[in-house]
Amino acid sequence: MIKKTLIALGLCLSFSSFSTLEEGMFPLSELHRVDLEKAGLKLPLKSIYNPEGTSLVQALVRVGGCTGSFVSNEGLIITNHHCAFGAVAAASDPEHDYITEGFMAKERSKEIPTSIKARITASYEDVSAQVLNGLNAISDPAARSMKLDANIEQLVKDEQAKHPDLLIEVSEMLQGKSYTLFRYQELKDIRLVYVPQRSIGEFGGESDNWVWPRHTGDFSFMRAYVGKDGQPAEYAEDNIPYTPKEFLKINPNGVKENDFVFILGYPGRTYRNQPAQFLEYQNTYQMPYISQWFDFQIEQMQELGREDKALEIAFASRIKRLANTTKNYKGKMQGLQRTSVIADRKKDDEGLMAMVNNDPALKNEYGTVFQEIDQIYQEKLATAQRDLWLGQVFSSSGLFFSAGYVANRQEAYKDVKKADRDNFIAMEFVNRAATLKRNGSIAHPELEKRLIKALLYYGATLPEGQRPASLEAFSKESDIKESIDAFVEKNYAKSLFSNTEKYTEMLEKSPAKLMKVKDPFMEIAGDLWTQLMKYQDAEKKRQDALTILLPKMIDIRQMYQKSTFLPDANSTLRFTYGYIRGYSPADAEVHNPFTHVKGILEKASNSGDYYLEEYIQKLLESADPMSIVCFLYNLDTTGGNSGSPIMDDKGQLVGVNFDRAYTATINDFAWNEEYSRSIGVDIRYVLLIVKELGKGDHLLKEMGV
């Protein structure tokens, strides 16, 4: 598998300099740069990562898009409640509502299989020379990109042949400059062991999401299984628990203020030291549009699910995913407005340009870099509203995806020779059937209609010059919304693509018939599909150009700052460290670093985000009111660090990372100790809930507590 971390829509890999010891998501290869002993670590460096033996790295596991850690020698994994949420929702129904009621497997045979895959970092090596081989001789951006992709593909293929039992990926660390090959052991049988009640695992709901103080038991337990021969295998009843090379020991005494702590995990994406135009695009277009559109979807699903328990369960995972993103984006926008990050970035870029212009040698080599980057972004900003909307049309509506794809393939089919038509059908439909069914699925007819109406209205009201021709007729109506609503209501039931069962049957049994289908949505969807393809082609050219320009910007910045750079987070294993600390996010507002059980009882309600069952309230009333629930620390984390183990100076587990404070959502763009705080659930609260609420003495015994 190739993992090239050049991201669509201009989200290109960047880098971060570190000016303080606490800042930085360090690759394992960079740990030697930091004096961790002076910082407070009481372990030798090889205890964290030892390429020649076992270390804490072997206790780390990437669980889906999150991080987890082994806490027993029988494959028991601790991660977040929200990381298990999709699997819990998939296992639930109105009769077995594990989302609300929680789930505890009292014995191994009761553990619930999931579709989650997990991976452990086996080893890594720098392969920059191999990846960049031959690129300097190529000046054309598109050809250069193709050569880079080919180099990576060949490298992965060769490595996979050497290690057929491992998953191989090449990750771009510094764009156009540094590449690392990672070897992963993939575990394919992951089962649910314990997930607390939703009122515990999600206490505070969206009201408290990305907020401090928190009183959330955001944790869960899973177990990894392998085949009877000890090798990774798909689910089978007679699989056996995986035996990790290392697992974390638990410190039931927890931590106190100012204690040293560190995290190993798989942080997702950061975008630090991007040019100022990147931040402007995010702040002005991408984050406002996506957050508003996600809010609309959430409102529709919540409304439809209020009177239908099955729908509520079916929508739960999607609502949670969208809600997390939209609040994160709102936090970032607030952060960009309250700080000088964009202004500082502009000032930095001006400083870089001045340095280049004042040095004839630099000017000769780098003189047009920033002008070319600016030109690319000006082109991108000119149609940003349309392009963001086009992406959502086909990712939000199964009907539009199917109608658009079929309409586009019908046009191509006209130019296919008769002798080649069977092969065309096989390539475009038979071989892609699984993807087409997945992307064309419809969660609920009424929801689908509401989304289509909203998407068409947005498209019909785009600024002139960005509005697609197929929607011009709607835009000329006196009441655009009424006209669109009437069109959808009249034609939805007539559409083949609104009937998932009928469409799927045709796709599987007689795909050639799709070349003759006439559908009321195909004219619009086909036009929008064509527009999307044109946008993607233009975006590909912009990205190809940036693969040459951004490495040059890195060169300039390194000369300007005369400092060492760390790569941005890119879902590869990283180390970050810091201290248990409160903070003051605003004038006259002071946050202590710990929350307590008494805070749960003060918030508890019989409805809403702070709903807490009466029997759980009584259980917590019998506990020490000052028992710690969650805590703050100034580590450098981002998405993907969810579920990461928080470890003390001896490498023992003291908590599970699950969130950042609202002011810290801007960390993805810039890190500052003053406002950057991450949030974890304290291991003492985890143990309390497992023992008293989950009646999980068998798990405590397994973990050696």
Task: Please give the pLDDT value at position 9.
Answer: 26
Task: Please give the pLDDT value at position 32.
Answer: 83
Identify the burial level of 536 via C-beta atoms within 10 angstroms of its C-beta, where 0-12 means exposed, 13-18 middle and 19 or more buried: middle
Beta-bridge partner residues of 591: 583
**Cα end-to-end distance, the chain, whole Å:** 40
Q: Which two tokens stand for residue 303?
A: 């409304």
Residue 273: pLDDT over 80: no
Residue 457: pLDDT over 70: yes
CA distance 72 to 91: 25
Helix axes 341-357, 369-382, angle to 10 degrees: 140
- What is the amino acid identity at position 412? A
Q: Which two tokens stand for residue 392?
A: 């959502």
Residue pair 542/600 in contact by the 8 Å Cβ criterion: no
151-165 pLDDT per residue, tens: 999 999 999 999 999
Q: Which candidate, 4, 301, 291, 8, places its Cα nearest to that of 156? A: 4
Give the percent of the chain with pLDDT over 90: 84
CATH number, domain 8-269+571-702: 2.40.10.120
CA distance 228 to 599: 47
Residue pair 703/683 in contact by the 8 Å Cβ criterion: no
Beta-bridge partner residues of 250: 653
Domain boundaries, the chain: 8-269+571-702, 276-360+379-536
| Mean pLDDT value across residues 392-415 | 96
Q: Which candidate, 165, 271, 156, 269, places its Cα nearest to that of 572? A: 269
- What is the phi/psi pair of residue 594, to 5°? -130, 145
CA distance 665 to 662: 6
Tell me the C-alpha to C-alpha distance, in Å, between residue 230 and each of 190, 246, 281.
Answer: 14, 16, 49
Residue pair 534/469 in contact by the 8 Å Cβ criterion: no
Task: Please give the pLDDT value at position 447.
Answer: 97
Q: Which two tokens stand for residue 277?
A: 């135009």
- What is the phi/psi pair of residue 335, to 5°? -60, -40
168-210 pLDDT per residue, tens: 999 998 888 899 999 999 999 999 999 999 999 999 999 999 9
Q: Which candidate, 206, 99, 80, 213, places its Cα nearest to that of 602? A: 213
Task: Please give the pLDDT value at position 250.
Answer: 98
Work out whether strand 220-226 and strand 260-265 pair parallel, antiparallel, or are unpaired: unpaired
Rounded to the nearest angstrom, the gap between the alpha carbon of residue 515 and the centroid of all alpha carbons in its chain is 37
CA distance 395 to 668: 24
pLDDT class of 663 with cuts at 50, 70, 90: confident
CA distance 22 to 38: 12
CA distance 6 to 1: 15
CA distance 116 to 224: 10
Residue 22: pLDDT over 80: no
Tell me the C-alpha to C-alpha distance, in Å, between residue 683 and each of 6, 78, 103, 648.
Answer: 37, 11, 19, 11
Residue 563: pLDDT over 90: no
Rounded to the nearest angstrom, the gap between the alpha carbon of residue 262 and the centroid of all alpha carbons in its chain is 22
| Mean pLDDT value across residues 496-500 | 95
Identify the burial level of 228 via C-beta atoms within 10 angstroms of its C-beta, where 0-12 means exposed, 13-18 middle and 19 or more buried: exposed
Helix axes 369-382, 384-396, angle to 10 degrees: 60
Residue 567: pLDDT over 90: no
109-122 pLDDT per residue, tens: 999 999 999 999 99
Residue pair 294/325 in contact by the 8 Å Cβ criterion: yes
| Cα angle value 686/192/309 (rounded, 5°) | 95
Q: Which candidate, 210, 270, 174, places its Cα nearest to that of 670? A: 270
pTM of the predicted protein model: 0.88
pLDDT class of 584 with cuts at 50, 70, 90: very high
* pLDDT averaged over every residue in the chain: 92
Decide which of 674 and 511 is more confident. 511
> CB under 8 Å to 450, separation ≥6 — which residues?
300
Rounded to the nearest angstrom, the gap between the alpha carbon of residue 359 and the centroid of all alpha carbons in its chain is 42
CA distance 570 to 563: 21
Task: Please give the pLDDT value at position 374.
Answer: 95
Give the percent of the chain with pLDDT over 70: 96
Task: Please give the pLDDT value at position 23.
Answer: 64
Tell me the C-alpha to C-alpha distance, in Å, between residue 605 and each of 323, 539, 609.
Answer: 22, 49, 8
CA distance 247 to 70: 5
DSSP letter at 429 equals I
Residue pair 169/181 in contact by the 8 Å Cβ criterion: yes
Tell me the C-alpha to C-alpha distance, in Å, between residue 203 and each of 198, 209, 210, 599, 678.
Answer: 7, 9, 13, 11, 18
Q: For residue 85, how many C-alpha atoms fall within 13 Å in the half-sphere facing its CB?
A: 25
- What is the phi/psi pair of residue 658, to 5°? -140, -10
Task: Please give the pLDDT value at position 564.
Answer: 65
Work out whether strand 594-596 and strand 628-633 pair parallel, antiparallel, or are unpaired: antiparallel
